[in-house]
Structures are given as structure tokens and as C-alpha cells.
């Protein structure tokens, strides 16, 4: 594949409001970060405006994430155009899909996303559902037909996709944190992505009050430690 997420099981990342760069060597950004012991730089966009995407993608970030779940009226058509804009650069494009449903995951992967963040994952069954949707058989049940991705990812896309596509499942409930070890064993997932506001609400906190809560910090640390001990990625914004 032309772009790669070879660093996906090696590091942890947090998200900042913007992201990425230009060319056909997206893997180099992540690999350089790993070599330095750093996390990749990641931008989070809640607009699918293609000019905004193209502009930010030339800044020099490693990864860009488009938020279909809480972004401004972002459906599959606008997402596909966003992916085309980002693909003019070296930036690795990822998408937070709106729901843990296989058809959302297939739409964005076939259109050229190199990874997904999947919300509403509360147990190992939910996690396996998300992971399976990201992988071709025998690793999962993703249907073969990567329309645009076969041009964007290269002629070896099918052979490499299961190894390169990243799937992060969201941890948004304190009950999920308590069972995080079971999620870590789910096939097809590469790590966890903490939704701090929803996690706070599940703990009886105000959505934006989590920064001052030691219990919230403790829960996040448990997710990170579990990721570390299982060779998985951990992310948060």
C-alpha cells in the first residue's frame, strides 16, 4: 500500500484540533515519531469542507480524523470528497464513523480511509463487530470491493489491508473501563480511543468537568495501562 499505518501497534496518540502534510510517504511521519519515542500529531475536523481539509493536510501533521459522529452534518458523500482532498498529501486519513455499524465502516474504508474510530462499543461483542468490519476474511467479514481505495492504496491493497487498516474502539462508559481487558482480546481491533466527555457523564460528572477529577484520570490510566500490556494503541482528545 502507498500509505501505511505501520506504527499503529507501537504508539499512543492524543488529538489536537488540526492535522497533516503532502506527498505519498505518509508512513514516514509515523515512523519518525516512533523512532523519536513520540506520538504522531493528529488533527480532528468536524467539518468536511474540502478546501479546509486540503489546507490543514498541508500543514505537517501525521494523521487527520474526520468526525462523522458529531461533525456538522457529515454523511458518506461529503466524507468521500474529504478523503479525496486529504489524499493529495502524505497525511494519513482516518474517520470516526457515526455508529458501530459495518456499512458505515465499509463506506469509509472503500473510499480511502486508512483507519476508523468506532463509537458505542460497550463490550467484547461490540468490539469484535467493529474489528471484523475492518478486516477481509479470514480475519473478518469486510466485503471485497475497495472501489477508490485500490487506486489510492495501491495494487496490493487487498493483500495488505488487514495488516495496515487501523481500528480503534471507543471507551465511553465507566462500566466498559471495568471490563477493558475483555475488549483487548477482541479480534481485529488495534486499540482504544477514550471519549472523555461521555466517560465523565457515565461517572456522574459534568461533560467538561473531567479534567479536575482524579477518578476520571484513574479510569483513563487504566485504559492506557491495558493498551500497553496488550500491545495496543491508546488515544484520547
Of the candidates 185, 167, 140, 186, which has an alpha carbon nearest to the alpha carbon of residue 233? 167
- For residues 110 and 93, give the distance between their C-alpha atoms in angstroms, rounded to a whole number: 12
In the block, which residue shows the cell 492524543? 14
Q: Which residues contact 119 (CB under 8 A, 6 or more apart)?
A: 69, 96, 97, 98, 99, 100, 170, 172, 195
Please give the Cα distance from 181 to 37 (Å, whole number).
25
Instruction: Report, in angstroms and rounded to the nearest whole number, the Rg of the chain calculated over CA atoms.
Output: 16
Residue 12 annotated to the active site: no
Considering 29, 70, 216, 222, which one is annotated as catalytic? 70
CA distance 152 to 166: 16
Which residues are known to be catalytic?
Answer: 70
Amino acid at each position: 500500500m502507498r500509505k501505511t499505518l505501520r506504527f499503529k501497534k507501537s504508539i499512543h496518540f492524543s488529538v489536537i484540533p488540526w492535522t497533516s502534510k503532502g506527498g505519498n510517504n505518509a508512513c514516514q511521519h509515523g515512523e519518525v515519531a516512533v523512532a523519536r519515542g513520540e506520538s504522531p500529531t493528529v488533527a480532528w475536523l468536524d467539518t468536511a469542507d474540502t478546501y479546509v481539509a486540503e489546507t490543514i493536510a498541508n500543514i505537517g501533521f501525521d494523521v487527520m480524523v474526520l468526525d462523522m459522529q458529531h461533525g456538522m452534518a457529515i454523511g458518506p458523500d461529503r466524507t468521500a470528497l474529504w478523503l479525496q482532498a486529504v489524499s493529495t498529501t502524505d497525511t494519513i486519513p482516518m474517520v470516526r464513523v457515526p455508529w458501530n455499524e459495518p456499512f458505515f465502516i465499509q463506506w469509509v474504508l472503500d473510499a480511502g480511509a486508512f483507519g476508523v474510530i468506532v463509537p458505542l462499543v460497550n463490550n467484547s461483542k461490540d468490539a469484535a463487530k467493529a474489528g471484523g468490519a475492518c478486516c477481509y476474511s479470514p480475519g473478518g467479514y469486510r466485503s471485497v470491493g475497495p472501489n477508490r481505495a485500490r487506486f489510492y492504496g495501491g495494487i496490493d491493497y487487498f493483500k495488505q489491508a488487514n495488516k495496515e487498516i487501523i481500528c480503534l474502539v471507543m471507551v465511553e462508559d465507566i462500566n466498559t473501563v471495568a471490563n477493558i481487558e475483555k475488549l483487548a482480546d477482541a479480534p481485529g481491533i488495534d486499540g482504544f480511543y477514550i471519549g472523555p466527555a461521555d466517560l465523565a457523564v457515565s461517572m456522574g460528572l459534568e461533560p467538561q468537568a473531567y479534567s479536575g477529577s482524579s477518578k476520571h484520570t484513574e479510569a483513563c490510566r487504566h485504559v492506557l495501562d491495558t493498551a500497553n500490556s496488550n500491545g495496543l494503541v491508546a488515544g484520547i482528545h
